[in-house]
A and B are shown apart, each in its own frame.
Chain A
């Protein structure tokens, strides 16, 4: 993925602000810094990795190694809404793969992809700790339990309605 000059600039600024005056020898801060970059930008761009590497005085390839080792990190920007399907034991035994396929069909993307309009991305997560509500889907930070393929449609529908309402609200206020 190629970033525009402005995007690059923004990524560098965000990363530098996080790095601030952190002790350069404190390697224990590397992962927390990368987590913060991701929470600000939604992913960790190459240029941010280089920034972090320079700050802590380690080769960029080490940072890349960390990013690819841990499932949490993304190398590409996610959709505006992140749909995460729980793939833990309880959810699996209650048909999580059927739910996954339902989302894939409805959004017309595969797990790990983002829709063309960048509205939705689809991911799998390990148990989110609501096994008693299996199968579970997390949309952004909100947990939805007891999902069926038909509820997938419902969730998507209500989500789009919410967004319309919000837009209308904006228009009314503005």
Chain B
């Protein structure tokens, strides 16, 4: 075991751990209230809930601790709060609106009334109230990386230490780098940044590359415009990633690491920076870690808002102070990366599995998921699904189970239409593909991609041409411009799609799109360009009739494309005197006709949707029609009556 002194390392660690555990026990010796305050919790009012609870405790003169924690994944129910009350079940509350938080705390802590009507579930099994495991979601969920998210204070390293944190690093210090690599290889861990490359192999390549100076980089650039898994992990449990990165460094033979993190995630930047600093203070980073011969330091690098910089060679270029333009691979970064030195680049999630794999073993990891894709998949469920948020499920769970059981199906009683997976490089899968198991290979075969884990559920009101246009618009703007086909081919495709969504498509456009798609795919250097046509190809494959309706009839079947719809007030349904729509219209386009029924002046209407939202649900008098000329027809029809 090298010249590490095991006794020194474990003594130093035991001391840190004992102190942390003592603090942890003290924390749980009185009532404890956790408030989920990751970015999305904050947007839902978590910070005022925090204040409300503190004020209430003061008022009642109760001795309890209130902590700001990260996210458990139940984003749909934000703000979320958990209460530990000695002698009572620990309960997680959701939708804790203003005033409710204080009430729950008061009732539970002073009278033992848990306020069941606000509870989502209990945390541990008990005789009174179901736990998360008792719901369909709990049947599928299997948290590894997210296990501690939302239960520990991300700003307190002692919470991480007390719950087993950094013990994998100690283990890694006590074995050889080769053994670490063997374990990770045996676990079958594949990179979660999109490509699914075996993590252990990457580390080994870097270790075996010539030179003393090596680097490890955590890719936290999360650029997929519908994904937020990495952000949540960074905000909820930053030490997990730091421990994973340190183990990667020890394995690969690096003494310097970077976390490349999106500047659009200020809270994550703040929490990771603090975590790095406190880890240094505890001797878990820096020179001679825990008294061993291993030196490792981490620095943060903030990404400057270019999607292509998530691509590893572009990321390296930007760290070297250049525009983020990908270069040809090979050589792969593991052989020649940052400043030409061997460099391991791994995604946040990939690294976050590592401490668990080291602690629990390769076999344990393989007991989850499939032969070729072991472990779990972490998805950010967004769009028209009831339970939006984060879900960690074993690989091989089907899309249907994920959307309909974990996500509780489609919101507002609408019908499922498609699910977009893998972001700008991925595709849209329809109803008939829902039984596809989630793993790297099956999703690719179905025409989508594992990607980074963004999953946007679309319902009958979402236009498939528009979603394809949206992604192409994104990739086209984000193309670094190096390859002609990526730059101009995507632009040409975008022009066609824009024409179609505006009702000016031509019958030959569909063939043209297919042809351009294969050219862009072949003529691009990096995966941004290579995969850019995927959203178009998958929607063409499964929803061709929607393209045809736009092109041949000037009709948007989902009533989404602005140029192909008009707003209309159904005279028979309008209540006349409520006037809600009139006040909501920003351009005064709604007027009274002789019967005081509201009518929309189509010339003035800016299609802002306000009247449709404003019209009370018991009337639902405002509708959208497509093609827009139907309004004239309907008005004429009425005139005849």
A, B bound: yes
Pairwise interchain contact B318-A31, C-beta atoms closer than 8 A? yes
Residue A101 lies at the interface, judged by CB distance under 8 Å to chain B: yes
Residue A105 lies at the interface, judged by CB distance under 8 Å to chain B: yes
Convert A84-112 into 0s and 1s, putting 1 for each residue whose CB lies closer than 8 angstroms to a CB of B: 00011110111101100110011000000
Which B residues, 603 to 628, have Cβ-Cβ distances below 8 Å to chain A? Answer: 606-610, 613-614
Residue B631 lies at the interface, judged by CB distance under 8 Å to chain A: no
Pairwise interchain contact A27-B321, C-beta atoms closer than 8 A? yes
Residue A125 lies at the interface, judged by CB distance under 8 Å to chain B: yes
Pairwise interchain contact B423-A128, C-beta atoms closer than 8 A? no
Pairwise interchain contact A133-B610, C-beta atoms closer than 8 A? no
Interface size class on chain A is: 35 or more
Q: How far is the CA of A72 from the CA of B471 in the complex (A)?
A: 20
Pairwise interchain contact A132-B388, C-beta atoms closer than 8 A? yes
Interface-facing stretch out of A113-121, A137-145, A163-171: A137-145
Which B residues, 177 to 217, have Cβ-Cβ distances below 8 Å to chain A? Answer: none
Pairwise interchain contact B462-A93, C-beta atoms closer than 8 A? yes
Q: Which chain A residue has the least Cβ–Cβ distance from B586?
A: A105
Residue A174 lies at the interface, judged by CB distance under 8 Å to chain B: no
Residue A173 lies at the interface, judged by CB distance under 8 Å to chain B: no
Residue B116 lies at the interface, judged by CB distance under 8 Å to chain A: no
Pairwise interchain contact B610-A148, C-beta atoms closer than 8 A? yes
Pairwise interchain contact B40-A133, C-beta atoms closer than 8 A? yes
Interface-facing stretch out of B49-57, B261-269, B355-363, B490-498: B261-269
Q: How far is the CA of A129 from the CA of B305 in the complex (A)?
A: 14
Residue A40 lies at the interface, judged by CB distance under 8 Å to chain B: no
Which B residues, 417 to 434, have Cβ-Cβ distances below 8 Å to chain A? Answer: 420, 423
Residue B323 lies at the interface, judged by CB distance under 8 Å to chain A: yes
Q: How far is the CA of A77 from the CA of B501 in the complex (A)?
A: 35
Please, which residues of chain A bring their CB within 8 A of the CB of B609? 95, 98, 149
Pairwise interchain contact B304-A73, C-beta atoms closer than 8 A? yes
Residue A29 lies at the interface, judged by CB distance under 8 Å to chain B: yes
Pairwise interchain contact A27-B320, C-beta atoms closer than 8 A? yes
Pairwise interchain contact B388-A127, C-beta atoms closer than 8 A? no
Residue B383 lies at the interface, judged by CB distance under 8 Å to chain A: yes
Residue B78 lies at the interface, judged by CB distance under 8 Å to chain A: yes
Please, which residues of chain B bring their CB within 8 A of the CB of A70? 304-306, 318, 323-324
Residue A134 lies at the interface, judged by CB distance under 8 Å to chain B: yes
User: Smallest Cβ distance from B190 to chain A, in angstroms?
Assistant: 24
Residue A14 lies at the interface, judged by CB distance under 8 Å to chain B: no
Q: How far is the CA of A101 from the CA of B562 in the complex (A)?
A: 12
Convert B387-401 into 0s and 1s, putting 1 for each residue whose CB lies closer than 8 angstroms to a CB of A: 011000000000000
User: Smallest Cβ distance from A172 to chain B, in angstroms?
Assistant: 24
Pairwise interchain contact A129-B39, C-beta atoms closer than 8 A? yes
Please, which residues of chain B bring their CB within 8 A of the CB of A87? 225
Q: Which chain A residue has the least Cβ–Cβ distance from B222?
A: A129
Q: How far is the CA of A87 from the CA of B424 in the complex (A)?
A: 13
User: Smallest Cβ distance from A145 to chain B, in angstroms?
Assistant: 4
Selected contact of A31 from candidates B75, B304, B384, B587, CB within 8 Å: B304
Counted as pairs of residues, one from A and one from B, with CB atoms less than 8 Å apart, the total is 153
Pairwise interchain contact A149-B39, C-beta atoms closer than 8 A? no
Q: Which chain A residue has the least Cβ–Cβ distance from B41?
A: A130
Pairwise interchain contact B44-A127, C-beta atoms closer than 8 A? no
Residue B584 lies at the interface, judged by CB distance under 8 Å to chain A: yes
Pairwise interchain contact B44-A133, C-beta atoms closer than 8 A? yes
Selected contact of A88 from candidates B40, B226, B265, B614, CB within 8 Å: B226
Q: Which chain A residue has the least Cβ–Cβ distance from B263?
A: A72
Pairwise interchain contact A145-B44, C-beta atoms closer than 8 A? yes
Convert B461-485 into 0s and 1s, putting 1 for each residue whose CB lies closer than 8 angstroms to a CB of A: 0100001001100000000100000
Residue A30 lies at the interface, judged by CB distance under 8 Å to chain B: yes
Pairwise interchain contact A71-B586, C-beta atoms closer than 8 A? no
CB-CB under 8 A for A127 and B306, given A101-B608, A132-B78, A143-B43? no
Residue B374 lies at the interface, judged by CB distance under 8 Å to chain A: no
Pairwise interchain contact B304-A102, C-beta atoms closer than 8 A? no
Pairwise interchain contact A102-B586, C-beta atoms closer than 8 A? yes
Pairwise interchain contact A148-B305, C-beta atoms closer than 8 A? no
Residue B228 lies at the interface, judged by CB distance under 8 Å to chain A: yes
Pairwise interchain contact B43-A130, C-beta atoms closer than 8 A? yes
Q: How far is the CA of A92 from the CA of B561 in the complex (A)?
A: 12
Convert B376-411 into 0s and 1s, putting 1 for each residue whose CB lies closer than 8 angstroms to a CB of A: 000010111000110000000000000000000000
Selected contact of A127 from candidates B78, B228, B318, B467, CB within 8 Å: B228
Residue B90 lies at the interface, judged by CB distance under 8 Å to chain A: no
Please, which residues of chain A bring their CB within 8 A of the CB of B227? 127, 131
Please, which residues of chain A bring their CB within 8 A of the CB of B232? 129
Q: How far is the CA of A145 from the CA of B228 in the complex (A)?
A: 15
Q: How far is the CA of A143 from the CA of B42 in the complex (A)?
A: 8
Q: How far is the CA of A44 from the CA of B607 in the complex (A)?
A: 38
Residue B322 lies at the interface, judged by CB distance under 8 Å to chain A: yes
Residue A136 lies at the interface, judged by CB distance under 8 Å to chain B: yes
Residue A59 lies at the interface, judged by CB distance under 8 Å to chain B: no
User: Smallest Cβ distance from A95 to chain B, in angstroms?
Assistant: 6
Q: Which chain B residue has the least Cβ–Cβ distance from A134?
A: B382
Q: How far is the CA of A127 from the CA of B43 in the complex (A)?
A: 14
Pairwise interchain contact B613-A144, C-beta atoms closer than 8 A? no
Pairwise interchain contact A133-B43, C-beta atoms closer than 8 A? yes
Please, which residues of chain B bring their CB within 8 A of the CB of A88? 225-226
Convert B260-284 into 0s and 1s, putting 1 for each residue whose CB lies closer than 8 angstroms to a CB of A: 0001111000000000000000000
Which A residues, 51 to 78, have Cβ-Cβ distances below 8 Å to chain B? Answer: 56, 65-66, 69-73
Convert A35-47 into 0s and 1s, putting 1 for each residue whose CB lies closer than 8 angstroms to a CB of B: 1000000000000
Q: Which chain B residue has the least Cβ–Cβ distance from A33?
A: B321
Pairwise interchain contact A127-B302, C-beta atoms closer than 8 A? no
Pairwise interchain contact A35-B39, C-beta atoms closer than 8 A? no
Pairwise interchain contact A128-B264, C-beta atoms closer than 8 A? yes
Pairwise interchain contact A130-B39, C-beta atoms closer than 8 A? yes
CB-CB under 8 A for A131 and B382, given A66-B323, A89-B226, A89-B470? yes
Q: Which 8 A-B pairs have the closest CB atoms?
A: A89-B226, A30-B321, A70-B304, A132-B388, A71-B305, A131-B382, A88-B225, A69-B323
Which residues of chain B have a CB within 8 Å of any CB of chain A? 39-40, 42-44, 75-76, 78, 222-228, 231-232, 263-266, 301-302, 304-307, 318-324, 339, 380, 382-384, 388-389, 420, 423, 454, 456, 458, 462, 467, 470-471, 480, 562, 584, 586-587, 606-610, 613-614
Given contact pairs A30-B321, A89-B471, A150-B614, a sample of 19 additional A-B residue pairs in the complex whose CB atoms are under 8 Å apart: A28-B320, A35-B263, A66-B321, A69-B324, A69-B480, A72-B304, A88-B226, A89-B225, A89-B383, A90-B383, A90-B456, A105-B606, A127-B225, A129-B231, A131-B456, A132-B40, A132-B75, A143-B40, A149-B609
